[in-house]
Amino acid sequence: MFRHGSRFLARATTMTWRRPFATDLQAGYVADSNFTEAWKKVVPNVDPPKTPSAFMAPRPATPSSIPSKLTVNFVLPYTSELSGKEFLLRQERVGKRFNAIFIALRSSTPKKIEAVEFFRDFWPVDMVIIPATTGQMGVLPGHVATIAELKPGILSVHEGNDVNKYFVSGGFAFVHANSFADIIAIEAVPLDRIDPNLVQKGLTDFTQKLNTASTDVEKAEAQIGVDVHSALNAALTG
């Protein structure tokens, strides 16, 4: 077998050399001189393709000293459509600009539990405790830059002696090195606005759906409902 190895290699090399490629010039190919001259005039002015990093805003400068406050932006990626009966409006004016934050939590039924709309520009606080998937994480001024995924749980905002608690169903927290934090929640509601009776009813309904689910989709939807309502129940009783 080894005696014929050189012959096999020579034949494979010859076959590869004879294989045509799409980039090969055809026999008798003549370049279009008009196109070539036009291309030479255009190519020096063609910008190279930009990478995603070229569209990012410059990274904010890290302060030399740790500030006394943590600036929090608490936002949700949607606008709630609620009737006047189910809508509670609270307006707080900060500066000349207003950023609307709509906070709503949907129960297991079509009726919403409660909603609060905040008008804030910047929210300077002392500390925020977020329900990360790795556990409760406290964020203070000067915290290292990090990204954390949120799980259903309590988000605590500490302002002096005041502690505001919200239940969030999920999302992400982006902590920047300049003592700014962006908290993006899917849904959120003040903890004192949650009806314990609706929570118990939702937990019972979704547990029953989980036990009777016949497809993978039904099981997944029921499991999500059980997880969220279990976290709601733990937040109210904990």
pLDDT tens for 170-222 read 899 999 988 888 888 888 888 888 888 988 998 999 999 999 989 999 999 88
Torsion, Cα 140 145 148 153, to 10 degrees, reads: 10
Domain that holds residue 114: 70-193
Asked whether residue 156 falls in the same domain as residue 206, the answer is no
Asked whether residue 124 falls in the same domain as residue 83, the answer is yes
Asked whether residue 89 falls in the same domain as residue 169, the answer is yes
Count of the separate structural domains present in the chain: 2
Asked whether residue 140 falls in the same domain as residue 209, the answer is no
The answer as to whether 13 is a domain residue is no
Hey, how many other C-beta atoms are within 10 angstroms of the C-beta on 138? 11
Count CA within 13 A, CB hemisphere, residue 57: 2
Rounded Cα distance between 194 and 210, Å, is 23
Asked whether residue 201 falls in the same domain as residue 181, the answer is no
**pLDDT in the model for residue 158:** 93
Asked whether residue 74 falls in the same domain as residue 94, the answer is yes
DSSP, res 141: T
Contact criterion met (CB below 8 Å) for 214 and 220: no
Q: For 48-62, 123-137, 150-164, 206-220, which range has the lowest pLDDT when averaged over its residues?
A: 48-62
Q: Which two tokens stand for residue 110?
A: 């079509």
Instruction: Report the CATH number at residue 76.
Output: 2.60.15.10
Asked whether residue 200 falls in the same domain as residue 100, the answer is no
